[in-house]
Amino acid sequence: MIGTLSPCGTVSLLPTLTAALWCAASAGQAPTPAASPGGERGWLNARDCGASGSEFGTTAAATAGSKEIVVAEVGDFRAGQGVMLSECNPRYVKNVVWGPRQIITWEKPLENRAEIRGYDGTQGDWVVLFLDVPKGSKTFRWSEDFARSWKPTVAITGDWQPLRDGLEIRFNPHDWEQGYTVVFAARGQLETVIEKLEGNVVTLRDAPARTVKAAMLRHCDDSGLQAVIDRAIREKKNVHIPVGRYRLSHGLSVKDAAGITIEGANATETILDISEGEGTCITLTAGTEVTLRNLTMTGHSGFKERDQCGAIAMLGAGYFWGFAAKCCNAVSIKDTERVLIENCHGTRMSMECFYSQGRSRVGGKPEPAQYTKAITYLRCSVVDNARNAFNNNDMAENTSVLNCRIVDAGGCTWEGASRFVKFCGNYVRNSGTVAMGNVRSRAAHYEELGTGQHIVTDNVFESGVCYGGCAIRAASCAQQVIVARNLFVNFGSSAVEMLSSTGPTDLPAGITSVTGNIFDMTSLAENPIPRTAVLVSTSDTIVSDNQIYVRGATAADVTGIRVQEPALNVSVHDNLVRNCGQGIVTARCSSRVAEVVDSTTFVSRPGQVPFERRQSHRYRGWNVAWLGSGTPAEVSVVADFDPETCRFKLVEARAMHVGDVFEVFPPYGANWLIHSNTVSGCAKPVVLDSYGSETSILRDNLISRGDAGGVSEAVKVSGRFTLSGNRICGFDEQGSAALAIAADATGHAPRNLYLRNTFERCAVAVKEAREGLWKESVAEGNLFLDCGTAPAASGRPAP
């Protein structure tokens, strides 16, 4: 048969309109009318350009070197259509190397460092091999299941060495001892076009390279869909994709579109299937405005493959991501100005399902001519995915993830270094962290125009997280973060973390608010794990109006609210905490010395003590407590912290060693105000185990035993705090103390203030770790009612 050229430049058997009607009918649906959504003049039909949308497949006998194959059934195949034929085109599609071990770098072309031979298709239609050369050795091990198992380690000989079934590897001269990981991928699939059909004989554009008696022939709609997209961009029209399963061997590109909508007939039955291909279903590059609507996109690697697609610990390369060896994702965005993705659904993608990476504004410089200013994901879903659901690996502005569903995503639910993000109204279950920040840069311009600003509100998080350790986290440069009005249901993982800790390539997060959330921390797991509802170490933080509870008995493995030094300006108020192992806790932070420069200068390892910003206190005048230096611990004073070199300089010299543990605390008020909270039914209701300061205050809180048993101390104080107006009642079990006082971590007894507190029905009113601590404090107006033992209501007189 002789085909005619369609308006999109592909071969068609019939005139354009007739072909579209026939294709619709052959797919078992009503024909798409010429007047598609938006009107006849505004829309193109993907079927008109050769896209089939057909799931039909059949076996075929192929002979090496012959373009003619014999199929078991002709089905709905037609001349001009793209097809994929399995097992008939053996070739290598990836030859890369990762490493050396000490350098964090992405894969690079292998070039002539190593060679492989012997793949002929019999070993599998898609074979991926990892060859791992450990640092400091001249040996290698290899895996063909993405590092789930390894074949025995053998010596590198420099000659051809057998792997399996005729596959051989040769390592050529190179500095392999530095630690590298080599990846080879081979495919047997042939992507081609039908040129002619005569009975059961199909003539292809390209001849198979291998004889196969029963290869699988299926539709491949790359070229047809790409043709209609290109034409729509040229003619400034939109694209309608009828119901069907559109198989892709490679992704589709939408480049430089002034304004285009690509819309499926409905999201349930309009499917882009890249399970036999590699790449991104739809890549948006530059242009002004793109809308994607009513599509489902499916790949080849789901939640069960998350270990194979994530960061893999190699003995060779120190940095390795499995998804790079066999990648697929739904949508990627690069510098398109405005993007709306509505009612689109991704599943079984090996990498970030919805992804953005492009240019952005830089503080103090003119904005780029082209960059992403707005992305909206509306009513989308990511289910059964190996890695992240949504990921902005850039500073794209105004990304909104709204009313979406994320279930079984093996990486982060959302990972965003971006600016002005809204994550609102979503449902999340058994997926990774909503990770804000992760910028991994200390560039000065981030202190002029910040990034990582997020609003995370009105979401539901159920069951726990599978990756990342908590549901919501701000870290690494994120500032101006609001987490509000979220529900946590049967939550078996930590929930919210606002962290200031950094590495040498991070700026600390800060300026955060966690308010109005309800945390049900009841775990349904057979073996529950320790977890915290709210953990904050960021400065300028509010934690308020939250409910945190466990249903039933007190859960020893749950902490309600934990506040860590060296945060400044923290307000924790009007929270209701029930049935937790620990209610409200304050804690110290520590890091270790990584390098001693001289007797007054050292570099810290990445840890809880943040590498501060240029526009900060820079630890000038701060105290450094050296743990393990004796009791009381030795204390130094910081002269300065250099934000460029990340070096601490002390006022006075001291002997320091790599590995020394140190903690920091300010010489002035830290401004911590913990007030108007209700804590009940907790095994350790309030623990103040931080250095504190003259402006660290616990006031007007209601602390009761509730149904908890075995509570040894209602409030434990091991730092400098003022306790004022608190009501502590019901701790009447034998030996139970309303207030326990101890020295701080340096061994010093701070001069605390205890003013107008009420202690009622407590077996022991005040318990001292060392006799005299209460008397050395300033105590006034405290009331002890029905307490077994009680000190004088006042300690040292107020000055």
In 114-227, the DSSP E strands lie at 114-117, 126-133, 139-143, 154-155, 161-162, 168-171, 180-187, 190-198, 201-204, 212-219
- pLDDT for residue 752 is more than 60: yes
The residue-averaged pLDDT of 356-366 equals 93
Per-residue confidence band for 444, with pLDDT thresholds at 50, 70 and 90? very high
- pLDDT for residue 799 is more than 60: no
Chain centroid, CA 474 distance in Å? 11
- pLDDT for residue 10 is more than 80: no
Per-residue confidence band for 41, with pLDDT thresholds at 50, 70 and 90? low
Spatial contact of 193 and 217, defined as CB atoms under 8 Å apart: no
Per-residue confidence band for 364, with pLDDT thresholds at 50, 70 and 90? confident
Q: What is the pLDDT of residues 656-691, one digit of tens each?
A: 999 999 999 999 999 999 999 999 999 999 999 999
Q: What per-residue confidence (pLDDT) applies to 567? A: 98
Per-residue confidence band for 23, with pLDDT thresholds at 50, 70 and 90? very low
Instruction: Determine if the peptide bond prior to 632 is cis (ω within 30°).
Output: yes
Count of residues making up the chain: 799
Spatial contact of 708 and 684, defined as CB atoms under 8 Å apart: no
- pLDDT for residue 485 is more than 60: yes
Per-residue confidence band for 231, with pLDDT thresholds at 50, 70 and 90? very high
Q: What per-residue confidence (pLDDT) applies to 436? A: 97
Q: What per-residue confidence (pLDDT) applies to 36? A: 52
Q: What per-residue confidence (pLDDT) applies to 503? A: 84
**For the chain, what is the mean pLDDT?**
93
- pLDDT for residue 560 is more than 70: yes
- Provide the b/e sequence for 214-251 (b: ≥16 CB within 10 Å): ebbbbbbbbbbbbbbbbbbbeeebbbbbbbbbbbbbbb
Quick one: CA dihedral 759, 764, 765, 768, positive or negative?
Answer: negative
Find, among 202, 187, 157, the residue nearest to 61 by Cα.
202
The residue-averaged pLDDT of 249-273 equals 98
Left (φ > 0), alpha (ψ -120 to 50) or beta: where does 411 sit?
beta
Structure-block tokens of residue 173: 């001269």
Chain centroid, CA 492 distance in Å? 18
Distance CA 466, CA 719 (A): 36
- Provide the b/e sequence for 589-618 (b: ≥16 CB within 10 Å): bbbbbbeeeeebbbbbebbbbbbbbeebbb
- pLDDT for residue 35 is more than 70: no
Chain centroid, CA 57 distance in Å? 38
Q: What per-residue confidence (pLDDT) applies to 119? A: 98
Element holding 775 (H helix, E strand): helix 773-776
Q: What is the pLDDT of residues 684-717, one digit of tens each?
A: 999 999 999 999 999 999 999 999 999 999 999 9
Residue 255 burial class via C-beta count within 10 angstroms: exposed 0-12, middle 13-18, buried 19 and up: middle
What whole-number percentage of the chain has pLDDT above 90?
A: 89
Q: How far is CA 363 from CA 366, 367, 450, 505, in A?
A: 8, 9, 8, 18
What whole-number percentage of the chain has pLDDT above 70?
A: 93
The residue-averaged pLDDT of 280-287 equals 98
Q: What is the pLDDT of residues 100-139, one digit of tens each?
A: 999 999 999 999 999 999 999 999 999 999 999 999 999 9
Distance CA 427, CA 447 (A): 33
- pLDDT for residue 15 is more than 60: no
- pLDDT for residue 760 is more than 90: yes
Per-residue confidence band for 19, with pLDDT thresholds at 50, 70 and 90? very low
Q: What per-residue confidence (pLDDT) applies to 504? A: 85
Cβ-based neighbour number of residue 211 at 10 Å = 15
Spatial contact of 317 and 99, defined as CB atoms under 8 Å apart: yes
Per-residue confidence band for 298, with pLDDT thresholds at 50, 70 and 90? very high
Distance CA 434, CA 416 (A): 8
- pLDDT for residue 8 is more than 80: no
Bridge partners (DSSP) listed for residue 109: 96
DSSP secondary structure string, 53-111? ----EEEEEE-TT-SEEEES--TT--TT-EEEETTS--EEEEEEEE--TTS----EE-T
Per-residue confidence band for 794, with pLDDT thresholds at 50, 70 and 90? low
Distance CA 101, CA 111 (A): 19
